[in-house]
Structure 1
Amino acid sequence: MTVIVISGTGTEIGKTVTTAALAAVATAAGRTVAVLKPAQTGVGPEEAGDADEVLRLSGAATGTELARFPEPLAPATAARRAGLAPVGPAEVAEAARKLAATHDLVLVEGAGGLLVRFDEEGGTLADAARLLDAPVLVVTPAGLGTLNSTALTAEALRARGIEQLGVVVGSWPAEPDLAARCNLTDLPESAGAPLLGVIPEGTGALAPEEFRAAAPTWLAPVLGGVWDAAAFTATAGA
């Protein structure tokens, strides 16, 4: 895979840390990795954005933002309120293709969920993925409510003919409740796609060296790691 699109079922659920884990594993394997953040919202001009955080944690080669908007809103809304031009799916696809020409792997991290509006025409991350013919990795929360949002995201992908690579739990709690433990079994069924990783909560606070050393243990072999879904579910599930 040359391009992978990382989307979430919502916001603040671990997309950036998941993207960093993917980048860390690929970089350690000797691949050149570029991280593309089409629209960074809620971050000031001098602050580090999501792409910067991925590079810090993973050691990946390249990080690119196409636009930055100060208010923590959906990209189309944030652009409109800032009086700035939005970023459309065609621009995202073009930037990803250019990066793919000089890197082994391009990771495109979305903003919020799959169908969050990027521009006033209603363009979304799903549209960019379709233009790229790239698979989408869906990041979900661990607990109650995640099955519905995961199923809806999967349905939206299927309706558009977009491949869903699988599902990753973006922040696995140190003390998972019953819903989280049951969801290890139920998430693949809701998604219609395999569970490909579980990222422990708090991993973004690790030192980069610790993060990179541990990243393979959070991701399944198809993503370059050594994590075993069956073994983890048998141990941590309900």
Structure 2
Amino acid sequence: MTVLVSVWGAAPGVGKSTLCAGLPRALAGAGLRVDHFRAEEILSRPQFAAVAAEFGATGAVGLETPVAATERFVASVLAGGDDVVIADALMPFVPTLLAMGHGDEAIDAFMADLTHVLAPVRPVVVFLDGDAGAALFRAAEREGPGWLGWYVVKLAAYEVSPPVSDLASAVAYLRRERAVTLGAVRRHGWGLVVVERTDGLTPGEVLGAVGQGIRPWLPALPQLLRPP
């Protein structure tokens, strides 16, 4: 059976991109068939073409559109026969829903539909946790001058709550985004692996922790991803 591993994190700079680069290689090296949906290419995949088109035309997306796209995604995954699909910042779409101003009730109803659609691929969320403020500064060091200001302005343009106007309010919003995402995943019975305090771990230690965490859903995974 195919397992969908969806990777999220507490904030940019927490190590999600590094994990998403290493995890597919490690799983493939362990003998598993792996597909990787990279964040920068997701909307270019044919399964999500309708999402990209609707957002480009209106600046928003109806809740039925990502559900229908996910149905196409699941069909393509099952047809491909991979053991594991790694999705970088894709399902369960909670940050996107928050950015469009949807509240807890709408998100919960959406998650119920999404959970039903994703049942054949057994979704597991890997969440890299850590201090959001410190992670943003690491991301700014990586991306260069002006990135942090751009990111705050980007969040400020969305209909998020609490509203964002500066770095402190951006961190407060990211904490809410974290809470809503983890709460929705837990309520709807998805697999969940939380790697805590990732800022104190090396990339290899994070990879090892994730490998141990996803083992219940991949019982055939060899002992090649060792814990920290």
Query: If each structure's helix is expressed as a fraction of its own residues, which one has the higher value?
Result: 2
Q: 2: CA distance between counterparts of 1:28 and 1:83?
A: 40
1:128 lines up with 2:106 in the alignment:
no
Deviation at 1:28, TM superposition (A): 0.4
Which residue does the alignment assign to 1:107?
86
Matched AA of 1:157: V
Deviation at 1:67, TM superposition (A): 4.2
Which residue does the alignment assign to 1:205?
none
SS at 1:116 equivalent: helix
After TM superposition, the score normalised by the length of structure 2 is 0.50
Deviation at 1:29, TM superposition (A): 0.9
CA shift in 2, pair 1:154/1:79, >3 Å: same
Deviation at 1:131, TM superposition (A): 1.3
Deviation at 1:11, TM superposition (A): 5.2
Matched AA of 1:221: Q
Equivalences for 1:24-35 in 2 at 5 Å? 24-35=25-36
Matched AA of 1:128: L
1:162 lines up with 2:189 in the alignment:
yes
| Alignment check: 8 A CA contact 2:128 2:198 kept | no
Q: 2: CA distance between counterparts of 1:36 and 1:128?
A: 18
Between the aligned residues of both structures, percent identity stands at 18
Unaligned runs of 5+ in 2: 133-170, 215-220
Q: 1: CA distance between counterparts of 2:185 and 2:61?
A: 29
Matched AA of 1:6: S
Q: 1: CA distance between counterparts of 2:26 and 2:70?
A: 24
Deviation at 1:27, TM superposition (A): 0.5
Q: Report Cα offsets for 1:91-146 as digits up to 9, x if no partner.
A: 2232233223321212233349741347x9x7978453441122331423411678
Deviation at 1:75, TM superposition (A): 6.8
Matched AA of 2:84: L
Q: Report Cα offsets for 1:166-213 as digits up to 9, x if no partner.
A: 1135x943xx5xxxxxxxxxxxxxxxxxxxxx563xxxxxxxxxx8xx
| Alignment check: 8 A CA contact 1:6 1:19 kept | no
Q: 2: CA distance between counterparts of 1:152 and 1:84?
A: 19
Q: 2: CA distance between counterparts of 1:96 and 1:105?
A: 12
Which residue does the alignment assign to 1:97?
75
Which one of 74, 81, 88 corresponds to residue 66 of structure 2?
88
Matched AA of 2:18: V
| Alignment check: 8 A CA contact 1:3 1:106 kept | yes
Which residue does the alignment assign to 1:226?
226
Matched AA of 1:116: P
| Alignment check: 8 A CA contact 1:18 1:139 kept | no
